[in-house]
């Protein structure tokens, strides 16, 4: 099919737009105007063989059409029906499913002008290309120029997904792909499935799914994928153009685009089993509704098709528990405080003072973060913290360029310059205002949760405290009486303490800490604290019992309750196939469970090097509506709903894209009615042959 030159295509488009947005009366006036110009100027000039004047007139004609084109782009047209159909493929060079192809340029022709959106993101070429091809849209043609050499006896597939759209309204040509072979045979098998995040069953979009016919484990880390697909917004994927055989399948968030797993920071997924693609003949029913009454069925057609198997592969994506370890930074924010921050949780480092020189560990109190990725040394020896520049030898775990951990030794310098003291303007200021107390914070609320202990935290590590000056009082018969409690220090943080007691539902309490009950290493003591609060009543809570089936008998299983943001707030171990949650606040909650393979009480990710899959996670497919003073009982069969459909859409963060096709004709009609001007898009076109097409 011949293709118009670029300039000619635009000229045709200008004329098309011109006649599209001009009604019959206006067209008549324009024709009359230019007839007058032609008769009085062009004709006379032509008789004098003045070609230059003729070209000048022709230039103004083209300019008028161009202005009409510009006006059409500046505002919504007032008439004519919009094209809501996607482009139609007319032919391709080489032809679809061609064999023995030896050229690296592919041309595809359409019935209208088209453009390509986000080619590097949407277009998938398999086998994967080391150099991304040159892809362009010129008029009604798409040209793909492969930069990599063609591989002999290989099926190539270019999957455009929805990257090709028409030039005017942007209607996408969806699920369009072209295949050809460099050999005598075209491979046509395909496999499909879904990729979900292993920890939370979120659909993973934009991740590569690839295959290897080499079944060795090292193929994933040393060789590029043979064929690839990419997941859509629902996490669905298809790998096309496969030859018969046995394959291993993987998913890879390829950060460096080399199509192999060589970076521990890349999210991956793998199957332990081998994939064997095949086909079966299947049928499906298509229902055609009555055009006049869409509630009535006109015809039910039985359609035969080829089903490509397997089509239900589930890949659970995870990031390896391997993390590069190194010291990110160190600082001395206060005179007696040294802080070190690591890139990942680390085993316990060792320290030795060089300046001032000390070989023991009695000069500090260690504080570690919950994640074990930061360490604070509170200096308790005044001869050390009064040193302006401290030099310390630190031994810690570090990762080398080959991702191997080793013990590294660094010499760190911690400097501190004491801020200059300013003399108070009022020398007669009360001395009591100069007293600095040890600050305290707590989690006590006016309406305290019945399941919550009291947690208190100090700004400095505590060297001693006196329980005789710590009181928990409960209102009994209009007077406060002492309640029994226990208090213990946090194992990781000497600034935190937990006070536990058996709360009386609805009880009124007072928590008191006398002055100087707690003393820090630096001589500060607390000011007096007194806080009244009420513990919630039992009738303000609901309870939940979940009976679970489909679980392995020899594994620990934990159920987590989730809020509306998918964040867990309660967890319990399943016992006798039951998960019991007491004292829940009313509201909407969700639930998931994980099978604790290593029995460490938390979800554990996978590790490809150790061939360890991430621990399995299941979501309850609906929500629980907890009501006050009510016991709720639910039954949960974890295998009843397919995993890809388990997570409720309300708490799914990566929601699938919903493509809404705009009805441009209705929009145009509505706008014209609002403006009170313009053509009626349903008007007759009998008087204007240019609009009757």
Report domain extents, the chain.
6-74, 327-415, 431-536, 541-648
CB 395 within 8 A of CB 409: yes
Quote the DSSP letter at residue 62: H
Tokens of 291: 């055009």
Tokens of 39: 């008769």
Question: Would you call 662 helix, strand, or coil by DSSP?
Answer: coil
Tokens of 576: 């006798």
- From the list 117, 125, 167, the residue with the least C-alpha distance to 144 is 125
What's the CA angle centered on 451, arms 568 and 445, to 5 degrees? 95
Sheet strands (E) in 357-404? 364-368, 374-379, 389-399
Q: What is the pLDDT of residue 26?
A: 52
- From the list 75, 117, 84, the residue with the least C-alpha distance to 662 is 84
Angle of the 6-20 helix axis to the 51-74 helix axis, nearest 10: 60
Tokens of 472: 């928990």
Tokens of 327: 């010291």
CATH, domain range 327-415 = 2.60.40
CATH, domain range 431-536 = 2.60.40.3710
Q: What is the DSSP string of 263-327?
A: -TTS-EEE-SSPB--EEEEEEEEEEEE-SS-TTSEEEEEEEEEEEEE---EEEEEB--S-----E
CB 389 within 8 A of CB 417: no
CB 560 within 8 A of CB 496: no
How far, in Å, are 453, 572, 575, 615 from residue 558 at the CA level? 23, 6, 9, 11
Q: What is the pLDDT of residue 189?
A: 97
CA distance 259 to 128: 8
CA distance 150 to 98: 14
Give the dihedral of Cα atoms 640, 643, 646, 647; nearest 10 deg. Answer: 160
- From the list 292, 103, 285, 75, the residue with the least C-alpha distance to 182 is 103
Q: What is the pLDDT of residue 387?
A: 94
pLDDT tens column, 38-83: 555 544 544 445 555 555 555 655 555 555 444 444 444 444 566 6
Q: What is the pLDDT of residue 42?
A: 46
CA distance 2 to 306: 36
Tokens of 134: 């040159």
* Run of H or E residues at 7: helix 6-20
CA distance 547 to 143: 59
Mean pLDDT in consecutive groups of 10 residues from the start of the chain, 693 residues: 50 53 52 52 49 55 53 46 83 96 96 93 93 94 96 96 90 93 96 98 97 97 96 95 98 94 94 97 84 77 92 97 91 96 90 93 92 94 95 94 90 90 59 80 97 96 96 96 96 94 97 97 96 97 98 95 98 98 98 97 96 98 97 97 97 80 54 50 37 31
Domain 431-536 and domain 541-648 have a common topology: yes
Burial class (CB in 10 A: 0-12, 13-18, 19+), 195: buried
* Run of H or E residues at 241: strand 236-242
Third-level CATH fold of 541-648: Immunoglobulin-like (2.60.40)
Residues 6+ apart with CB under 8 A from 266: 252, 253, 254, 255, 319
């Amino acid at each position: 099919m011949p293709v118009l030159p670029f300039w000619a295509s635009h000229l045709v488009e200008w004329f098309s737009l011109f006649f599209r947005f001009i009604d019959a009366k206006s067209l008549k006036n324009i024709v009359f105007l230019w007839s007058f110009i032609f008769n009085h100027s062009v004709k006379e000039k032509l008789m004098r063989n003045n070609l230059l004047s003729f070209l000048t007139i022709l230039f103004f004609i083209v300019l008028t059409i161009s202005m009409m084109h510009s006006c059409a782009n500046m505002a919504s047209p007032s008439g004519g029906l919009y094209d809501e159909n996607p482009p139609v493929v007319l032919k391709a060079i080489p032809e679809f499913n061609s064999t023995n192809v030896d050229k690296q340029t592919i041309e595809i022709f359409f019935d209208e002008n088209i453009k390509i959106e986000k080619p590097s993101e949407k277009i998938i070429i398999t086998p994967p290309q080391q150099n991304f091809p040159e892809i362009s849209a010129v008029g009604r043609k798409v040209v793909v120029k492969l930069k990599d050499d063609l591989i002999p006896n290989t099926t190539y597939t270019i999957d455009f997904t929805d990257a090709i759209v028409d030039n005017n309204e942007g209607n996408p040509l969806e699920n369009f792909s072209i295949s050809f072979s460099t050999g005598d045979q075209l491979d046509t098998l395909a496999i499909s499935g879904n990729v979900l995040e292993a920890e939370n069953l979120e659909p993973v979009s934009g991740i590569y799914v690839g295959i290897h016919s080499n079944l060795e484990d090292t193929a994933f880390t040393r060789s590029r994928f043979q064929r690839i697909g990419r997941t859509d917004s629902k996490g669905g994927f298809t790998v096309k153009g496969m030859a018969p055989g046995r394959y291993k399948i993987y998913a890879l968030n390829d950060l460096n685009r080399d199509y192999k797993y060589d970076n521990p920071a890349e999210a991956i997924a793998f199957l332990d089993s081998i994939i064997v693609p095949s086909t079966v003949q299947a049928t499906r029913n298509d229902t055609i509704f009555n055009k006049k009454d869409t509630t009535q069925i006109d015809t039910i057609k039985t359609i035969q098709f080829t089903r490509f198997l397997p089509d239900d592969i589930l890949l659970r994506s995870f990031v390896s528990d391997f993390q590069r370890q190194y010291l990110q930074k160190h600082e001395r924010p206060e005179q007696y405080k040294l802080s070190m921050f690591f890139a990942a949780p680390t085993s316990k480092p060792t320290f030795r003072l060089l300046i001032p020189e000390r070989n023991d560990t009695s000069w500090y109190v260690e504080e570690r973060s919950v994640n074990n990725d930061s360490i604070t040394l509170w200096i308790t020896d005044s001869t050390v913290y009064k040193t302006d520049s401290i030099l310390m030898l630190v031994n810690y775990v570090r990762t080398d360029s080959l991702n191997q951990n080793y013990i590294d030794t660094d010499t760190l310098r911690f400097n501190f310059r004491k801020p200059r003291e300013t003399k108070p303007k009022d020398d007669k200021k009360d001395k009591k205002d100069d007293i600095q107390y040890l600050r305290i914070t707590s989690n006590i609320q006016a309406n305290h949760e019945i399941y919550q202990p009291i947690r208190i935290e100090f700004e400095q590590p505590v060297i001693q405290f006196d329980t005789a000056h710590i009181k928990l009082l409960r209102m009994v018969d209009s007077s406060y009486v002492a309640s029994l409690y226990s208090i213990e220090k946090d194992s990781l943080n000497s600034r935190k303490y937990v006070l536990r007691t058996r709360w009386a539902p609805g009880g009124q309490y007072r928590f008191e800490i006398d002055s100087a009950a707690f003393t820090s290493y630096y001589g500060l003591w607390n000011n007096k604290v007194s806080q009244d609060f009420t513990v919630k009543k039992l009738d303000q809570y609901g309870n939940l019992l979940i009976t679970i089936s489909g679980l392995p008998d020899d594994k620990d299983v934990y159920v987590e309750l989730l809020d509306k943001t998918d964040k867990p707030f309660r967890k319990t171990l399943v016992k006798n196939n039951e998960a019991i949650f007491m004292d829940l606040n009313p509201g909407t909650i969700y639930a998931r469970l994980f099978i604790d393979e290593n029995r460490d009480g938390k979800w554990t990710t996978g590790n490809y090097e150790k061939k360890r899959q991430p621990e399995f996670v299941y979501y309850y497919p609906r929500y629980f509506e907890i009501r006050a003073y009510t016991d709720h009982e639910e039954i949960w069969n974890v295998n009843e709903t397919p995993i890809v459909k388990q997570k409720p859409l309300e708490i799914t963060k990566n929601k699938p894209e919903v493509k809404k096709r705009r009805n441009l004709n209705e929009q145009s009609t509505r706008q014209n009615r609002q403006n009170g001007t313009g053509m009626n898009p349903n008007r007759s076109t009998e008087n204007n042959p240019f609009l009757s097409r």
